[in-house]
Structure 1
Amino acid sequence: MRARPILLERLRRRMLVPFFDRLGYDLVPANPDWIHRPLSGREVEHLLANAAAILQADLAAAGIPVRGSVRAMVEEFWSLIPHAPVRQRRGGSGFNGALQLYVAMRTLAPRFVIESGVFRGLTTWVIRQACPEAQIRCHDPDLSGLQYRDARAHYATVDWARADLSALDPDATVAFFDDHVSQARRVVEARARGITRLLFDDDAAGHRIHAHGGPAHPTIAMVTALRDDPEPIRWLHNGRAFEQRPNDPLMREAAACIARAHAFDDLHRATGYAPARLTAVTLRRRGAGPEGASP
């Protein structure tokens, strides 16, 4: 049964890898990082315990009340992730990002979820595992690459900000953004719709954005860092110069909306998997000034 995979791997290493290397490309198997995992009890315990402790601290720092045991949630995820129906190595979430999203969604326990940016469908699957009864609205301009389609989710190619969400209760909704659209814009749009609980992927800080791959900006980290700093953030990526100015009107409007923002630990030191960049954001309710900020 294993003869064919072994032969294909030998072909990849002996012929295809040297060929693509001469062209300046890396050829790697399209396997998700979670197929590699410790097996001995001591190492598994170390990974789970450290990940749970970090996530517990992150939830507290984000102001998210914990329902149940974070360690139990991490164990649940550890059992679930090998069965994920999406296989991806480049792009999309890996083990750490999926784990953060699973624990955050389990803890927030929304009745409604808006997912902007679906890609292959892994995060939709993660959200469904974490919130089996939630109504999920999936928005992406291109749904042709889906490897997982949730049977009970609603899919649309229209931008979420233009969709009819009148049937959703904003107070029971969490919006998750992984769509490479300005995060400041998404903050302003969410507050206009009364949605105050947000999760963002790819929230790159100014001192790290040069190595990120060109995310949409301003990011949440930029919005909060530049509130009282007059110096623009400038960086070079693939030979192109970028700049984010603190006096951008969208930046100022987004900053006024945010009551609390916390970037989760990337979990690499706990799990060994590729770093993740999840940020939890709580917005002020419409009509509330700074004194109306969430605790």
Structure 2
Amino acid sequence: MQPRPPVYLERLRRKVLSPLFDRLGYDLVPAAPDWSHRPTSPREVTTLLESAAAILERDLAAAGIAAGGDVLGHVQAFWQLIPSAPVRQRRGGSGFNGALQLYVAMQALKPDFVIESGVFRGLTTWVIRQACPRARIFCHDPDLSGLQYRDRQALYRTADWSTADWSKIDPAATVAFFDDHVAQGRRVVEAQARGLTRLLFDDDAAGHRIHAHGGPAHPTIAMITGPERSPEPIRWTRNGRAFEQAADDALVRQAAGLILRSHAFDDLHRATGYSPARLTSVTLRSGP
């Protein structure tokens, strides 16, 4: 388990720093990951894990991904692994649910190569390594200064993933994971041009929910694959800044024509109680 902060620091936070930040309009909270709070009685642990596994089994089937093993066993293994995660984060990045979804998806997909665009503190790289111990991982992020976990076997680059030479890897044995706040429609087009067909996206948000996402990667997969695209633009504000996404622009149309199948995973909140996750599986059409 993650070590607790010294008692004197917690008292300082509660009695002095938190009231001060509250008057300034900010919240000061410990950088304790959500998985540091967990049930310990056997019945409740079993209920949580079995409920999550049942949902994940349905999600894998809906995404067209063969489970390739015992999903409940993978969930149980993750439950034992996650307390040893070397990354502490409360806001930003993945929490328990997102990390669990990624772990189970990678266990099922079994890639030889993983392209990760958007690394942040390194939690998802760690999760991918736990799920795919033999995979070659390529990590791309414009700013790697905040890493708390650096994989010894991974290749790190600050250049955009689309600028790299991927001619020496097998696209059929590769999974690309995008959590980079870049237009998801753009990532679909780039991936298909490089022969990739198996993609995972974080922070895929529908138009009516995108206002809750920082740095939204629009057009998102949900916007691209929606059953009916209205000609009216999608507009929202966040932190005083106005955003707009054309409902049927050239990028949306191009990306829509490349997607063979997509499925947004259940957020798992009702099964685990942890913060909702937003993993989406996308399968692209092969060929030019």
Please report the TM-score for the alignment, with normalisation by the length of structure 2.
0.96
Shift, 1:219, TM fit = 0.5
Provide the rounded CA distance (Å) in 1 between the counterparts of 2:124 and 2:188: 20
Residue in structure 2 matched with residue 25 of structure 1 by the alignment: 26
Aligned pairs for 1:101-112 within 5 A: 101-112=102-113
Whether 1:258 and 2:259 are equivalent positions in the alignment is yes
Shift, 1:213, TM fit = 2.2
Question: SS state of the match for residue 260, structure 1?
Answer: strand
- What whole-Å deviation, never above 9, does each CA across 1:15-63 have from its counterpart, x for those lacking one? 1111111111100001111111000001100100000000000001101
Shift, 1:228, TM fit = 4.2
Tell me, yes or no, if the aligned pair for 2:262 and 2:282 is still in contact at 8 Å.
yes
Provide the rounded CA distance (Å) in 2 between the counterparts of 1:18 and 1:7: 16
Pair 105,219 (structure 1): closer, same or farther in 2 beyond 3 Å? same
Question: SS state of the match for residue 270, structure 1?
Answer: helix
Please report the TM-score for the alignment, with normalisation by the length of structure 1.
0.94
Whether 1:51 and 2:60 are equivalent positions in the alignment is no
Query: How many residues in Structure 1 have an aligned counterpart in Structure 2?
Result: 286
Tell me, yes or no, if the aligned pair for 1:116 and 1:160 is still in contact at 8 Å.
yes
Provide the rounded CA distance (Å) in 1 between the counterparts of 2:105 and 2:148: 23
Whether 1:69 and 2:88 are equivalent positions in the alignment is no
Choose 20-29 or 228-237, whichever is displaced more.
228-237
Shift, 1:227, TM fit = 5.5
Residue in structure 2 matched with residue 208 of structure 1 by the alignment: 209
- What whole-Å deviation, never above 9, does each CA across 1:149-191 have from its counterpart, x for those lacking one? 1111111111111101111100000000000100000000000
Consecutive unaligned residues of structure 1, counting only runs of 5 or more, are 288-295
Shift, 1:7, TM fit = 2.0
Residue in structure 1 matched with residue 198 of structure 2 by the alignment: 197
| One-letter code aligned to 1:38 | P
Choose 233-242 or 106-115, whichever is displaced more.
233-242
Tell me, yes or no, if the aligned pair for 2:49 and 2:72 is still in contact at 8 Å.
yes
Aligned pairs for 1:233-248 within 5 A: 233-248=234-249
Aligned pairs for 1:1-295 within 5 A: 5-225=6-226, 228-287=229-288
Identical columns (%): 74
Tell me, yes or no, if the aligned pair for 1:226 and 1:246 is still in contact at 8 Å.
no
Pair 227,175 (structure 1): closer, same or farther in 2 beyond 3 Å? farther
Shift, 1:66, TM fit = 1.0
Pair 55,270 (structure 1): closer, same or farther in 2 beyond 3 Å? same
- What whole-Å deviation, never above 9, does each CA across 1:95-146 have from its counterpart, x for those lacking one? 0000000000000000000000011110000000000000101011111111
Shift, 1:248, TM fit = 1.2
Shift, 1:238, TM fit = 2.1
| One-letter code aligned to 1:187 | V
Tell me, yes or no, if the aligned pair for 2:229 and 2:248 is still in contact at 8 Å.
no
Provide the rounded CA distance (Å) in 2 between the counterparts of 1:33 and 1:10: 21
Shift, 1:90, TM fit = 1.1
Provide the rounded CA distance (Å) in 2 between the counterparts of 1:58 and 1:230: 31
Provide the rounded CA distance (Å) in 1 between the counterparts of 2:102 and 2:273: 17
Tell me, yes or no, if the aligned pair for 2:113 and 2:174 is still in contact at 8 Å.
yes
Tell me, yes or no, if the aligned pair for 1:214 and 1:237 is still in contact at 8 Å.
no
Pair 236,4 (structure 1): closer, same or farther in 2 beyond 3 Å? closer
Shift, 1:260, TM fit = 0.6
| One-letter code aligned to 2:133 | P
Shift, 1:3, TM fit = 10
Pair 193,27 (structure 1): closer, same or farther in 2 beyond 3 Å? same
Alpha carbon RMSD of aligned pairs, Å?
1.4
| One-letter code aligned to 2:264 | A
Choose 153-162 or 219-228, whichever is displaced more.
219-228
Choose 254-263 or 242-251, whichever is displaced more.
242-251
